[in-house]
């Protein structure tokens, strides 16, 4: 059972247990004169909760919440833009290109930018509404199966990644998306070279998805050959050193796979508006590199201050 403010979610593995749990909850509410509204109750395989349609196998956007946003005209003031962007930001895990599409709208927040609804911003506004109504249904993770993390640095302004998993659905193997990661790069991050940017994306993804990837086998798909080569490289670069240390806990279960031109999913995420929903990569990897990470050895006695700094500062922010 999960309680969120005044909402109660009851879940179970069998129908018999489910009935018993419901009866137990109701028996606790009756003595203290708490009532429930049948209109707001949902019994069965799916329920609407916190703006999502939740089932035992998937997670989708509640289109009843989206319907009200679709009817709104384009905002005419900065505060209205901020209010609008807050809604799709809540569903950022469902929208693979949100950060890229919304760049022009977020720029209106800058003090040195004159508020003007250009054609580009109008198109971005309509594209966000389109993505909300056509967002993919996310699958729920199976921690007994390996995960696939797709990263790509094709866009110099946006961090875009996708976590997938191949599951058996109706007796057939199918690959579905668990979540998308999307955010705009900071100015300092956007100035990085391709190898450092790929490292930044990898570390950000592992920190964001650690509750999925800790202790499980997963593959990282990339089109950057330098990332694979730099894994075994000793370095004195402080950013690279911190990032190498940050991924140590994942190294035994992580495989780096270079896909090259066939790296279509993450490219589709970062090079909007290329649509690659049905273009899944080959199941068998082209090149697999087990990750033995070797970073610069640190003498804790002579370099204690430096060691403490690297141990504390695990953030990939430059």
- Break the chain into its structural domains and give their ranges: 2-44, 63-133, 141-312
The pLDDT, as a whole number, for residue 312 is: 42
Higher local confidence (pLDDT), 123 or 228: 123
Q: In angstroms, rounded to a whole number, what is the distance separating the alpha carbons of residues 218 and 225? A: 19
**Torsional class of 240: left (φ above 0), alpha (ψ -120 to 50), beta (otherwise):** alpha
115 pLDDT band, cuts 50/70/90, is confident
266 pLDDT above the threshold of 50: no
Q: Which of 129, 7, 25, 23 is nearest to 70 (CA)?
A: 129
Pick the CATH number of 141-312 from 3.10.20.370, 3.40.1410.10, 3.40.50.300, 3.40.140.10: 3.10.20.370
Whole-prediction pTM value? 0.61
> What's the whole-number average pLDDT of the chain?
73
18 pLDDT above the threshold of 50: yes
Q: In angstroms, rounded to a whole number, what is the distance separating the alpha carbons of residues 88 and 106? A: 13
The pLDDT, as a whole number, for residue 279 is: 41
Q: Which of 228, 262, 255 is nearest to 146 (CA)?
A: 255
Domains 63-133 and 141-312 share a fold: no
Q: What is the CATH number of domain 63-133?
A: 3.30.70
Higher local confidence (pLDDT), 198 or 304: 198
């Amino acid at each position: 059972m999960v309680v969120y403010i005044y909402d109660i979610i009851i879940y179970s593995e069998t129908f018999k247990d489910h009935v018993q749990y419901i009866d137990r909850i109701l028996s606790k509410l009756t003595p203290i004169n708490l009532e429930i509204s049948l209109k707001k109750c949902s019994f069965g395989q799916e329920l609407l909760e916190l703006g999502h349609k939740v089932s035992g196998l998937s997670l989708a956007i509640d289109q009843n919440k989206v319907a009200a946003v679709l009817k709104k005209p384009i905002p005419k003031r900065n505060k209205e833009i901020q209010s609008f962007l807050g809604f799709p930001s809540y569903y950022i895990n469902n929208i693979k290109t949100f950060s890229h599409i919304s760049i022009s709208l977020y720029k209106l927040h800058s003090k040195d930018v004159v508020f003007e609804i250009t054609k580009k911003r109008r198109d971005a506004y309509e594209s966000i509404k389109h993505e909300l109504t056509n967002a993919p249904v996310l699958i729920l993770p199976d921690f007994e199966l390996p995960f696939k993390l797709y990263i790509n640095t094709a866009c110099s302004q946006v961090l875009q990644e996708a976590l997938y998993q191949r599951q058996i659905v109706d007796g057939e193997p199918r690959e579905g998306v668990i979540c998308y990661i999307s955010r705009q790069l900071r100015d300092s991050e956007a100035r990085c070279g391709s190898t450092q940017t790929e490292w930044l994306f990898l570390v950000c993804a592992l920190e964001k998805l650690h509750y999925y990837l800790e202790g499980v086998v997963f593959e990282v798909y990339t089109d950057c050959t330098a990332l694979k080569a730099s894994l075994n490289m000793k370095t004195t670069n402080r950013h690279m050193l911190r990032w190498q240390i940050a991924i140590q806990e994942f190294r035994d279960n992580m495989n780096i796979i270079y896909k090259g031109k066939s790296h279509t999913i993450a490219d589709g995420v970062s090079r909007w508006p290329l649509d690659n929903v049905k273009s899944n990569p080959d199941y068998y990897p082209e090149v697999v590199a087990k990750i033995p990470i070797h970073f610069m050895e640190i003498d804790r006695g002579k370099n204690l201050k430096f060691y403490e700094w690297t141990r504390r500062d695990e953030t990939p922010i430059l």
